Structure 1
Amino acid sequence: MEAIVADYVAGLRRQGWSVPDQGIWIQVGQSVVAEHRGSVLMPAASLTKLATTLAALQTWPLDHRFDTLVGLHGTLQSDGVLDGDLVIQGSGDPLFVWEEGIALANRLQELGIQRVTGEILVTGPFTMNFEEDQAESLVDLKQAMATSTWTWEARQAYANLAPGTPQPNLQIDGVARWIPTADLENVPIEWVVRHQSLPLVAILKAMNIYSNNVMAEMVAELVGGPAQVMAKATELAELPAGELSLANGSGLGVENQMSARVAVAMTVAMQRELSAQGFSVADVMPVAGEDVGTLIDRRLPLTAAVKTGSLAEVSALAGMVPTAEKGPVWFAIINKGWDIPDLRVQQDQLLQAIQAHWGAAEAPAEMRTKVRMQTGPFRYGDPSRNQVAQEAASE
């Protein structure tokens, strides 16, 4: 294995890349089998999301859901007209998308609400469709309520919902706007719906499949910010001092740095935490041959669970590759260079060489994917996640 890594590094040298700027760590079980500059801090791009994922696993159980409460401020008339405002209280759901908004509107209409004469008042952490501008989230929320105002994207999302899903037509006369929670402290509100997010394990899977920076920043902030992400990841993975430095939860910016050794340690810690609850890294990371997202056009060994990372002059890859002789082999590759497509090809070839050395195999049964997005309980816009408030309170 040392010869395989040496050949890989030699190939990078021949192409003109700076050898000291390349980090590699290959590990079987708890033992390193080959490495190059593996303990050196390097910009790691979206491998940062490994730390964010690990910190989330320490903060909440895998079945944790983020609630979005919906209430009425005003009087609901017998004809379905709410003389007043619709109140939305968010708690930071990172995956509130068009499908969720459409399903929520349908539930409100099922409860007899057909028109709101006032506004949609949004309070608490709320983001829709990964919008970085809060105003855009509020516009999307109102548009989701009525088919007549749907954008092309909303119609595409509706096509993902179960056949026969109603198309809502909830008329909102006013605008959607955000207000401080303190402004609602003495306002009478009748809470009517508790919308639950997908479970945390599915949120993390979606975040990592698409390496969604907005989702990662939201999760990191809910954990307590980048410093808390670092602290929790360091504790859970028992990281060596000085090999992890984060400025945010997504990996945007070269100031987010880690060693290849730390990337492997965090992935192994994730597997330990997940396996204790009947899951594996395949349930929170993209899997070769199953998930597209950031793995499109990659030539990785099938059933390898990996996390990619890219910046203008950084290409990184970390995760698990299955082998016949050694079982799961844990790895991290951090490259600095401007030819990102070529660096990715060479990363894929290194993983293929690792698997060829120890024999091709699929991931063991306990490390096969259980969380498949847009299937079963992991479908966007599942109406069962919009509970009538009274029913939710009795649980």
Structure 2
Amino acid sequence: MTTWSLVGALLLSVSTQVLDGREVAAVPRSVMSYANRPVLASEELANNQSDPVAKQAIATMLNDLKQAGLTNPDQGVWIQSHDGAIASGRLSSRPLPSASLTKNVTTLAALQTWGSNYRFITNISTTGKLAGNTLKGDLIIEGSGDPFFVWEEAIGLGNKLNQLGIKRIQGNLIVTGKFSMNFEPDPQESANFLRLAFDSSRWQGEVAEQYATMPAGTPKPQLVILGNVRIVPNLAVANISTSSLLIRHASLPLWQILKRMNTFSNNEMAEALATQMGGGKQVAAIAANATGMPSTEIRLINGSGLGQANQISPRATVAILMAIHNRAQVEGLTLADLYPSSQCNCGTIEGRQIPKWAIVKTGTLSDVSSLSGVLQTQEHGAIWFAIVNRGDGDIDAFHRSQDRVLQNLVAKWGLPKLPIASFAETPWQDSDRNEIAK
């Protein structure tokens, strides 16, 4: 965006808000994002004018690994400031097995493909009519690829069907389209989960435990399916072409799905998204196009990171995170809306000693441990980083050395008095996502 077009956008987008009794201009985050975008530092800078603090942090990490008996030479790192003025790295352009840092690529590709507010729709329809509390006909569930349809979603859907007066299905439960429940790739098993969720009289174990985490007062669905569970790839071929829509179930917005995927590094969610985008190679191509990075530095065979053939250079990982940040800002979000922050002490960073306000993504394979994200400092603002460690050994040793890299940077550059506003998490609250068809 040119200077003049930026000024024009600012003038067109400025609104007013009251501050201390005064009316002041308020510029939307999506517009301001253009004025403060991160700059990917050059390798030439890192090689010829390597920042001494970052360079020492990397050297300390290598020594820590050596002391722990981890001597694999393939230890990749890229550390740089938000403005690209300082940088340091090691094997920064070499594609290395990066484990679940692959999910960064999947995250960027998903945002590029669908946008942050996209919702996957699951349609619920019937071939029959309601007589009393009995639906005389089949109940049809048509999925569209929701990667986060879990017990809570199914329980809410069952309650909505009860609200329509339906307590018995005198027919079959037919599942079609791209439907998966509880991250289960087997359609039959997913359909069985759904049937169980609908009928609380049969609950025990996991479904009962998940119900207990739902808001107090949530009803327990009472919906008995008298027929069988059928998986039907094509409704027309199966002579089920006449049906009436009952409910449209919307997934969480994509950004909330990605936040859960990245916090818990959920492989099934990542694979579901990547498959819908055309697989690992296509996901990598989308990311390479969005970042301008060479395709040789982003090599994927899937969207989760499972397997040594998923290889990304540390510098490309940072470029991908920057592109995610830029995309999020334009859509009124931040990186913290897509990834866990250190203060949550949750998911894959539970128990880690990561500095305050850092936003991170972890990765783990049998001989890979990786960490990427953004660190907030007093002296240099946001610090972007990617660390890829190789070697067979105690995973905790890798974690300690990675955490120490970040701790050493903060020890030298300090923490800001307040978190950087452009990395603050956006407040959000879920709502009823089951819409009764008119």
State TM-score, norm by structure 2: 0.84
> Which of 9-18 and 200-209 deviates more?
9-18
Aligned-partner SS, 1:124: strand
Note the aligned Cα RMSD (angstroms): 1.5
Matching of residue 273 in structure 1 with residue 327 in structure 2: yes
Percent of paired sites with the same residue: 43
Q: Which runs of 5+ in 1 are unaligned?
A: 391-395
In 2, are the aligned partners of 1:119 and 1:176 still within 8 Å (CA)? yes
State the Cα distance separating 1:133 from its structure 2 match.
2.6
Does the 8 Å CA contact 1:202/1:371 hold for their aligned counterparts?
Answer: no
Tell me if 1:387 matches 2:435. Answer: yes
Of 58, 79, 92, the residue aligned with 1:26 is: 79
Q: Matched residues in 2 for 1:116 and 1:27: separation?
A: 60
The code of the aligned residue for 1:35 comes to G
1:80 aligns with 2:133: yes
Q: Distance in 2 between matches of 1:38 and 1:290?
A: 29
CA distance in 2, matches of 1:175, 1:344: 49
Name the structure 1 match of 2:32: none
CA distance in 2 between counterparts of 1:133 and 1:88 reads 15
Indicate if the aligned counterparts of 2:75 and 2:388 stay in contact, CA closer than 8 A: yes
Paired amino acid for 1:190? S
Q: What is residue 197 of structure 1 aligned with on the other side?
A: 251
Residue 434 of structure 2 aligns with an amino acid whose one-letter code is: N
- Please list, as runs of the form range in 1=range in 2, the aligned pairs for 1:100-119 lying within 5 A after superposition: 100-119=153-172
**Structure 2 counterparts to residues 100-139 of structure 1, below 5 A:** 100-139=153-192
Shift of 1:220: 0.7
Q: Cα deviations across residues 295-315 of structure 1 (Å, max 9, x unaligned)? A: 111010112110000001100
Cα offset, 1:19, TM superposition: 5.0
Q: Which residue of 2 aligns with 1:356?
A: 411
Aligned equivalents of 2:63, 2:216: Cα separation in 1: 55
Alignment of 1:31-70 (within 5 A): 31=84, 33-70=87-124
Q: Are 1:142 and 1:175, in contact at CA under 8 Å, matched by a contact in 2?
A: no
Q: Specify the SS of the correspondent of 2:316.
A: helix
Aligned equivalents of 2:307 and 2:122: distance in 1?
31
Size of the aligned set, in residue pairs, is: 381
**C-alpha displacement of 1:12:** 2.3
Counterpart in the other structure of 1:393: none
**Highest CA radius of gyration, 1 or 2?**
2
CA contact (8 A) 1:328 1:363 kept: no
Q: Secondary structure at the match of 2:146?
A: coil
Aligned amino acid, residue 21 of structure 1? D
State how far apart, in whole Å, the 1-side matches of 2:221 and 2:63 are.
60
Q: Distance in 2 between matches of 1:84 and 1:315?
A: 52
SS at match of 1:289: helix
Worse-matched range after superposition: 329-338 or 5-14:
5-14
**Within 5 Å, which residues of 2 pair with 1:135-150?**
135-150=188-203
| 2:146 is aligned with 1:93 | yes
C-alpha contact 2:65 2:397 (8 A) present in aligned 1? no
Match of 2:231 among 156, 178, 181: 178
TM-score norm. by structure 1 comes to 0.93
Q: In the alignment, which residue of structure 2 is the partner of 1:367?
A: 423
1:262-301 pair list within 5 angstroms:
262-301=316-355
| TM-aligned CA deviation for residue 185 of structure 1 | 6.6
One-letter amino acid of the counterpart of residue 80, structure 2: Q
Paired AA for residue 356 in structure 1: A
Question: What amino acid maps onto 1:282 in structure 2?
Answer: A
Distance 1:138 1:252 in 2: 26
| Equivalent residue number for residue 27 of structure 2 | none
| Structure 1 residue aligned with 2:401 | 346
| 1:118 shift after superposition | 1.2
The CA distance in 2 between the partners of 1:81 and 1:116, in whole Å, is 6
Q: What do residues 17-36 of structure 1 show as CA deviations (whole Å, max 9, x unaligned)? A: 33531000001125251101
User: 1:175–1:228: structure 2 CA closer, same or farther, 3 Å change rule?
Assistant: same
Deviations 1:60-107 (A, max 9, x none): 121111000000112221x12112110000001111110110110111
213-222 or 161-170, larger mean C-alpha shift = 161-170
* Counterpart contact for 1:20–1:37, Cα < 8 Å: no
Residue type of the partner of 1:278?
Answer: G
Cα distance in 2 for residues equivalent to 1:292 and 1:183: 46
